[in-house]
Structure 1
Amino acid sequence: MNRHSWTIFCLAYLVGLLSTSWLTFSNPEVAGESLFKVGIGLGGLTLISAWIVYRCTSIRLRKSFWLEVFIIAIVAVIYFQVRVPQPSVNDISNQLHKNKSQIVIVSGKVLTEPRLTSDEKAKLWLKTTEIEIEKNSKQEVTGKLYVTLPLLQATSLYPGKNIKIQGVLYKPQSPKNPGAFDFKKYLNYQGSFAGLKGWKIIEEKNQSESIWGWWKIRRRIVRSQVRGLGSPVGQLVSSITLGRKAVDLPEELGNNFIQVGLAHILAASGFHVALLLGLVLRITHHLSGRSQLMIGLIFLFIYICLTGLQPSVIRATLMGTFVLVALANNSQVKPLGSLLLAAIIILLFNPLWIWDLGFQLSFLATFGLIVTAPQLSRYLNWLPPTLATAIAIPLAASIWTLPLLSYVFNTVAVYSLIINILTTPFVTLISLGGMISAGIGLFLPWLGSLLSKIIYYPTIFLIEFTNFFVNLPGITIAIGKIPLIVLIAIYTILILLWLNKRWQNNWYLGLIIVVILLVFPISYRQLNLVKATVLSANQEQIIVIQDRGKIILVNSGEHKTIKYTVLPFLTTQGINQIDYAIAMNSFSDHNGWTEINNKLTIHNFLSNEKNSLETFKKTTKLISSPENITTKNFRIKLLNNQPILLELKTKQQTWLVINPTKTEDNIAIIKYLQENNLAHNQIIIICSGKKIELECLKELKPQIAIITTNEVEESTRQQLNSQHTQLYITGQDGAISWQPQSGFQTTLITETEKNTFL
């Protein structure tokens, strides 16, 4: 079998794994149908590939070979599904009945070092052994548990320690709002199906701490660098050296690097492995190839263990190993072949890593350096060689990773390319200095701390440089959710630019097509979209209205709601400005408007408050109610008389956003209905569900009720059922969206909808 055959087999395996994005295994019928569709798709792709190879290349392969290619792709799909983690019979998640959370005491062994969460709590993984739900009712369990604890409770914990934790056991839920982080999917791919909100550690069994461990080495290195550089400079250097997973980096500092497009320097990657390997080869250049091989493998093994077996580091380590073996044998390495082989080895070990973003970006960036950087260097040959290389390397990596980053995060870091070019020398210097000080600090902490001071000022410059760009307007632009077919088309164009000389000669046309593919569908959708969305945010009533390019946001929410619900949703929708912001409650209860105003441009702010809001930008116009907001399909009025807070009208519907908290509020609602004849319109109410009396419901007679809470009182539910009112509960159904053509839709699949599949 020749080299071409092996390459096609490897690509078939990769394509088979990638096709699993279309699979659904929620129930047997849907799973079978989705697997059949994937099989048809892979079969068609195999036939197209066979035709392209026959017509466009001189490679000639037997017909049965393509059947083998199809079988490998199907086997990859099955292998992926077999490796998807599933809870065992004794898994701790099975102790939860009907997904109800409950107070428990869990015993187990700590698997990882505690790490800081964004809520200033500690998080760790626990291997469970026993659970106590009621007094003197213990049961043996298995499974991996995601645990959060108060920070002070976790200071004495370390991997391998046996503990007992009291807290609330829960099952992670699917995201209730578009754009929200899928915590359930994240835990499932980690082999965990439940979480524990720990209150306190009630028992730490007497045990001696192990003499050594990789976590102890990491801690020793981090402490040495923090002692020499202080905080947060020391943490940043440790993060650049060992990866962000090895150290608790301040959240604001980490977010700044992510916003400007420097997230990759905070994660151990191929860049760091290449620097380490280059440093080792430079020091050992006078030794034989076999000696360099042994020394290089030792350093690569140590580094990969210190960084925690991350896919991107494993990929780089494998390719580095291939280079060392080639040097020892006086041969040459074929970069593309070694990259493909490394990817196959990793994905045979764990096929789930095909969907690890770090692995995908590492693969694409390395691919770009191999196939695109040399071409860019030739275009830049009029520059000094060092400068041309400094520009070509980050540019080549960005060309191949930017489409994927835009697809995943729905944003574009505007200054990412220029920032990467300008910071490459400083990142290289800091990385090398961090590695040297880490190696010496491991044996002589005081000397490692002293040496780390050399890179203090370059690190300070990097922090200040990042802060400067973060504060520039338009640092990131939300572009909305890119369709998968557009992403595939973009990468197809990039491949044509790599392989086809005609495309290479007209590269600017390819760039124009890519821009059109990104801008046109998004712009067309926004200019024609008519949609109202009630977000799921506990009892907060947050509504986003999109009307042919006009954006209206009703209420901001608290800090957590803004961070995890509102801003992710706006980003997913490609929203960069708000035409009208409406505060239904007093501004003092919604300081989150300031946070939103720092991220997005707010043109008009409408509130019952009479005082001016100094926290807003000068470009924001302040409006006092009552005043109508009119768009092409909506007319909105923030009313002065309480508790009817907001009236939203379409041609056929009247939406009433109400928040009754006492009996007098319900009386005021009834009075409002009597004074305003709304009988000809379909009435839709959006209510927090705190206290809405039955008499008020009888008077309202809503066709649809959207309750922004997790539970509804049984009497309220019965009354709505008797009036044939369609009920939506955001805590159970997720965000509720309405469009003129499709009507109301929920984010989550309800139990009723699930039963329709069976």
Structure 2
Amino acid sequence: MNINRGALLCLGYVLGLFLTCLWGGINANPTSLQWGLVLGAIAVLTGCASWILPKYFFQLRSPFLLITGLIALLAVGYFQLRTPRLSADPVFQLTQTEPALLKYPVEISGTVISQPRQKSTDKQSFWLSLEKIKTQFEQFPTKGKLYVTLNEVEKTIKVDNKVSLKGRLYQPKSAKNPWSFDFSKYLQKNNTFFGFTGWEMMSSQSPQIGFSKIRERMINVHQKFLNHDQGALLSSMVLGRKAVNLPEPIYDLWVKAGLAYTIAASGFHVSLLLGCTLWLIKKKPKKTQFLVGISILFFYILLTGFQPSVLRAALMGVAGLLALVLDRAVKPLSLLLLTATILLLFNPLWIWDLGFQLSFLATFGLLTTLEPIQQKLSSIPNAMATAIAIPVAASIWTLPLIALQFNVIATYSIPLSILLALPIMIVSLGGMISGAIGLFIPFLGAAIAYIVGFLLQGMVILVEKVVELPASNLSIASLHWSQLAIIYGVMLIIWLTPWGKRQSKVLGFGLFILFVGFLTFKHYNTTKITVFATKNQPILVAQTAGKSIIINAEKKDIIQFSLTSYLRRAGINKINAFVELNPENLSTFKPEVFPDFEITKMFVLANPEELPQKTQILSTFELKRFNNLRFQLLQETPLLLELKLDNQAFYILGDRQTDDPPLIDISKGYLITNPKNIDLQLWETLRPQQAIAIGSRRDHFLAPNPIVYWTEEDGAIQWTPKQGLISVAPERSNP
């Protein structure tokens, strides 16, 4: 049996990068134990390969496999060498010598290097290549990159603009809730550690030439006769969302429908563009086809802004063009592996870029699974079989990773992709044609875009109807990495082994049952209470046997960025009870705040002017029961709510005044409250089993007490029957 040695060397490099998962991916300071795990894994894999592979592949010998293991080791070292470090960041170095830069307003100057996005009605954000920081007294030339949030949406900012902004420089802290978006890690992945909040744009200069101007001209052509949302959507289906300021509602709609791949510049767009170009010049000499094809690919890469998925598709396209000129066959899988290696040599951190992972998994699925699915559908017309097989083949390999990362499944994504396969191709191609013609004849290009807009509007209407269907988005419990490995292991057995191919139906059905079983078992066998790391009021989620209760929601941004994220990761689609203890937060206490979650019952303490639907007033000593979850209001002044789970009691204490009546004894339970509500006399009276203080231990008499957790320092806290109270905040490291 033959095997491509070059492909094996590439596999060794990619596998070496992937093994950095054993220390958490991008980690500037892995411990000795984590280094030992990675080195041990490389040694074990190399040893097993040297023992097993020579028996089946005659051209492989142990020395060659040892070289492959060495390449994997070098890949780990190279990854660590390229990992961004705080100490090497130019802005950090400057702030160490000039600490006042983080304390007082400054003026920064630089070049906008990403498409600005409107974050809300009054903010826009973008990446800035920094050139200078200026204070009231002096200026400091520097380099680096900043994530800028500007509180002026009326100011038009475009890619490649030279801007000067006034505002404040800051270094974000790590997230205290592990399921929340970690802004500091996001910055590190993008090779920076600082952000900038701007409140005034001092100056802006736009370049006269460049690909950003060409991109802007194409976008203007699409929006000339279409409304802003339709024009932006059409431009995104041509250039990708990263190059276009696509409104968030449209983006969210496409994501919920499972159609995000159509607005991310990827292999679909490159294949469509290159395929149509070669068809138009098919009668030309092969050398001409090669030169034109290369030129089109290079132009599209520059136009979309060097996105990893576009680079992957373009490199594979270049290889295909070379094969065309040289009249040689191409091995698609080897080519895919070589492309991955080249891109990861350019930037090894892309191994942990989700877009990069999904792009290669989808392509791998098309190369390995498309033909078998088409054979299964041989009884229907070939065009229809292909339209069905393409989204199914790609989804089979990407779905487990999507489930791991997002904890959401777009239930109707595959049938919707099949139904819209032809319209998506027509709209994308029409957008490309209108944009290209519009560069030279704007009116004609805009007219073509207007005609395409009718079909695009129909797509939007259909997608909106599908998203409104019941269970269109299902939250699923987080998969463990070992479960993900089992799922992909079974899929590889089906692909690689003759036995797996013969038993593909049985294994495929078993894989589906296994996937559903993993999620169902975790959802119905989870018993825990989670207290969020907030500043003032306690927010907690109680779960047991598939039932869930939320107590308090505080602010809308807490719901949007922390609570919703947690519910998705926990696989919660139905909230059995939502309890709001603070009358001031009733504005957030509405079902529309949770558009993707069903709320069965809601409870409030006060009688608001307009009682939301399904809402009840919670009276004193009125016990509410949901399986093993029980709660009741013990006192209204001061507020004291009792929550019981598996006979373990939790007591939520509200704000207290000096003249409030005494509290009942809670010595057998856990106390959850803001530390300002606890004084020495109350603490000695209550004597709780343990306590969770919603705030900081700074200058508090309980600071040294080991039975008290502080959300400001300890982050989110969870209780389980086996472990009791533990902190689940991400480990804080100094990169």
The interval holding the TM-score normalised by the smaller chain is: over 0.9
Asked whether 1:363 is paired with 2:356, we answer no
2:241 to 240, 244, 249: 244
For the residue of structure 2 that corresponds to 1:85, the secondary structure is: coil
1:667 to 659, 666, 669: 659
Asked if the contact 2:114–2:126 (Cα under 8 Å) also holds between the matched residues in 1, the reply is yes
Asked if the contact 1:225–1:452 (Cα under 8 Å) also holds between the matched residues in 2, the reply is yes
Structural mapping, 1:598-609, within 5 Å: 598-609=595-606
Deviation at residue 704 of structure 1 after TM alignment: 3.7
CA 1:624–1:436 in 2, change beyond 3 Å: closer, same or farther?
A: same
Asked if the contact 1:547–1:631 (Cα under 8 Å) also holds between the matched residues in 2, the reply is no
Structural mapping, 1:678-717, within 5 Å: 678-679=666-667, 681-687=668-674, 689=675, 695-697=681-683, 699-702=685-688, 704-709=690-695, 711=696, 714=699, 717=700
- Residue in structure 2 matched with residue 119 of structure 1 by the alignment: 120
Deviation at residue 213 of structure 1 after TM alignment: 1.5
The amino acid of 2:726's aligned partner reads Q
Asked if the contact 1:441–1:449 (Cα under 8 Å) also holds between the matched residues in 2, the reply is yes
Asked whether 1:229 is paired with 2:226, we answer yes
Asked if the contact 2:576–2:599 (Cα under 8 Å) also holds between the matched residues in 1, the reply is yes
CA 1:314–1:655 in 2, change beyond 3 Å: closer, same or farther?
A: same
- Residue in structure 2 matched with residue 145 of structure 1 by the alignment: 146
In 2, Cα distance between the equivalents of 1:356 and 1:750? 21
Asked whether 1:105 is paired with 2:93, we answer no
The amino acid of 2:632's aligned partner reads K
In 2, Cα distance between the equivalents of 1:70 and 1:594? 55
In 1, Cα distance between the equivalents of 2:31 and 2:177? 25
Deviation at residue 394 of structure 1 after TM alignment: 1.2
Residue by residue over 1:243-272, the C-alpha shift from the partner in whole angstroms, topping out at 9 and shown as x without a partner, is 001111111111011011101111000000
Deviation at residue 189 of structure 1 after TM alignment: 1.6
- Residue in structure 1 matched with residue 468 of structure 2 by the alignment: 471
Asked if the contact 2:577–2:601 (Cα under 8 Å) also holds between the matched residues in 1, the reply is yes
2:301 to 288, 304, 307: 304
Deviation at residue 533 of structure 1 after TM alignment: 0.8
User: Could you tell me the TM-score, scaled by structure 2's length?
Assistant: 0.93
Deviation at residue 366 of structure 1 after TM alignment: 1.1
In 1, Cα distance between the equivalents of 2:84 and 2:731? 24
Residue by residue over 1:606-662, the C-alpha shift from the partner in whole angstroms, topping out at 9 and shown as x without a partner, is 22244697654xxx574632322345655421345233142234678653322316x
CA 1:88–1:337 in 2, change beyond 3 Å: closer, same or farther?
A: same
Asked if the contact 2:527–2:543 (Cα under 8 Å) also holds between the matched residues in 1, the reply is yes
- Residue in structure 1 matched with residue 429 of structure 2 by the alignment: 432
- Residue in structure 2 matched with residue 75 of structure 1 by the alignment: 74
- Residue in structure 2 matched with residue 23 of structure 1 by the alignment: 23
User: Could you tell me the TM-score, scaled by structure 1's length?
Assistant: 0.90
For the residue of structure 1 that corresponds to 2:225, the secondary structure is: helix
CA 1:118–1:58 in 2, change beyond 3 Å: closer, same or farther?
A: same
For the residue of structure 2 that corresponds to 1:131, the secondary structure is: strand
In 2, Cα distance between the equivalents of 1:241 and 1:421? 20
- Residue in structure 1 matched with residue 631 of structure 2 by the alignment: 636
The amino acid of 2:126's aligned partner reads L
In 2, Cα distance between the equivalents of 1:629 and 1:160? 59
In 2, Cα distance between the equivalents of 1:148 and 1:29? 29
**Identical amino acids, percent of aligned pairs:** 35
Asked whether 1:40 is paired with 2:20, we answer no
For the residue of structure 2 that corresponds to 1:103, the secondary structure is: coil
Deviation at residue 325 of structure 1 after TM alignment: 1.4
Deviation at residue 449 of structure 1 after TM alignment: 0.5
Question: Cα RMSD between the aligned structures?
Answer: 2.8
CA 1:410–1:96 in 2, change beyond 3 Å: closer, same or farther?
A: farther
CA 1:411–1:453 in 2, change beyond 3 Å: closer, same or farther?
A: same
1:218 to 187, 206, 215: 215
Asked if the contact 1:481–1:572 (Cα under 8 Å) also holds between the matched residues in 2, the reply is yes
In 2, Cα distance between the equivalents of 1:99 and 1:470? 50
- Residue in structure 2 matched with residue 729 of structure 1 by the alignment: 710
In 1, Cα distance between the equivalents of 2:650 and 2:166? 45
- Residue in structure 2 matched with residue 558 of structure 1 by the alignment: 555
Asked if the contact 2:106–2:166 (Cα under 8 Å) also holds between the matched residues in 1, the reply is yes
Structural mapping, 1:239-388, within 5 Å: 239-388=236-385
- Residue in structure 2 matched with residue 93 of structure 1 by the alignment: 92
The amino acid of 1:648's aligned partner reads L
* Ranges in structure 1 where 5+ consecutive residues have no aligned partner: none
In 1, Cα distance between the equivalents of 2:340 and 2:158? 36
1:530 to 510, 522, 527: 527
In 2, Cα distance between the equivalents of 1:729 and 1:200? 37
CA 1:609–1:682 in 2, change beyond 3 Å: closer, same or farther?
A: closer
For the residue of structure 2 that corresponds to 1:667, the secondary structure is: coil
CA 1:381–1:42 in 2, change beyond 3 Å: closer, same or farther?
A: same
Asked if the contact 2:475–2:572 (Cα under 8 Å) also holds between the matched residues in 1, the reply is yes
Residue by residue over 1:117-151, the C-alpha shift from the partner in whole angstroms, topping out at 9 and shown as x without a partner, is 43241112223344356x42544443211110023
In 2, Cα distance between the equivalents of 1:124 and 1:45? 43
CA 1:28–1:622 in 2, change beyond 3 Å: closer, same or farther?
A: closer
Asked if the contact 2:553–2:589 (Cα under 8 Å) also holds between the matched residues in 1, the reply is yes
Segment of structure 1 superposing worse, 26-35 or 492-501: 26-35
CA 1:612–1:198 in 2, change beyond 3 Å: closer, same or farther?
A: closer
Asked if the contact 2:529–2:543 (Cα under 8 Å) also holds between the matched residues in 1, the reply is yes
CA 1:129–1:727 in 2, change beyond 3 Å: closer, same or farther?
A: farther
1:446 to 433, 443, 446: 443
In 2, Cα distance between the equivalents of 1:301 and 1:349? 17
The amino acid of 1:708's aligned partner reads I
In 1, Cα distance between the equivalents of 2:220 and 2:197? 29
Deviation at residue 703 of structure 1 after TM alignment: 5.2
Asked whether 1:658 is paired with 2:653, we answer yes
CA 1:498–1:157 in 2, change beyond 3 Å: closer, same or farther?
A: closer
In 2, Cα distance between the equivalents of 1:24 and 1:247? 32
Matched residue count: 729
CA 1:35–1:154 in 2, change beyond 3 Å: closer, same or farther?
A: farther
In 1, Cα distance between the equivalents of 2:25 and 2:604? 47
Deviation at residue 493 of structure 1 after TM alignment: 1.4
Segment of structure 1 superposing worse, 473-482 or 41-50: 41-50
- Residue in structure 1 matched with residue 619 of structure 2 by the alignment: 625
CA 1:698–1:22 in 2, change beyond 3 Å: closer, same or farther?
A: same
For the residue of structure 1 that corresponds to 2:4, the secondary structure is: helix
Asked if the contact 1:153–1:200 (Cα under 8 Å) also holds between the matched residues in 2, the reply is no
In 2, Cα distance between the equivalents of 1:94 and 1:694? 45
Deviation at residue 15 of structure 1 after TM alignment: 0.8
Asked if the contact 2:640–2:652 (Cα under 8 Å) also holds between the matched residues in 1, the reply is yes
CA 1:100–1:603 in 2, change beyond 3 Å: closer, same or farther?
A: farther
Deviation at residue 94 of structure 1 after TM alignment: 4.5
- Residue in structure 1 matched with residue 542 of structure 2 by the alignment: 545
For the residue of structure 2 that corresponds to 1:192, the secondary structure is: coil
The amino acid of 2:92's aligned partner reads S
For the residue of structure 2 that corresponds to 1:551, the secondary structure is: strand
- Residue in structure 2 matched with residue 397 of structure 1 by the alignment: 394
In 2, Cα distance between the equivalents of 1:330 and 1:138? 60
In 2, Cα distance between the equivalents of 1:611 and 1:144? 48
The amino acid of 1:252's aligned partner reads P
Asked if the contact 2:113–2:129 (Cα under 8 Å) also holds between the matched residues in 1, the reply is no
Segment of structure 1 superposing worse, 413-422 or 121-130: 121-130
1:720 to 702, 717, 728: 702
In 2, Cα distance between the equivalents of 1:599 and 1:539? 27
In 1, Cα distance between the equivalents of 2:29 and 2:346? 30
The amino acid of 1:529's aligned partner reads T
- Residue in structure 2 matched with residue 204 of structure 1 by the alignment: 203
Deviation at residue 88 of structure 1 after TM alignment: 5.2
In 2, Cα distance between the equivalents of 1:416 and 1:650? 38
CA 1:83–1:421 in 2, change beyond 3 Å: closer, same or farther?
A: same
Structural mapping, 1:605-616, within 5 Å: 605-610=602-607, 615-616=612-613
Residue by residue over 1:368-416, the C-alpha shift from the partner in whole angstroms, topping out at 9 and shown as x without a partner, is 1111111111111110111111111111111111111111111222111
Deviation at residue 435 of structure 1 after TM alignment: 0.4
Asked if the contact 2:717–2:727 (Cα under 8 Å) also holds between the matched residues in 1, the reply is yes
In 2, Cα distance between the equivalents of 1:386 and 1:169? 56
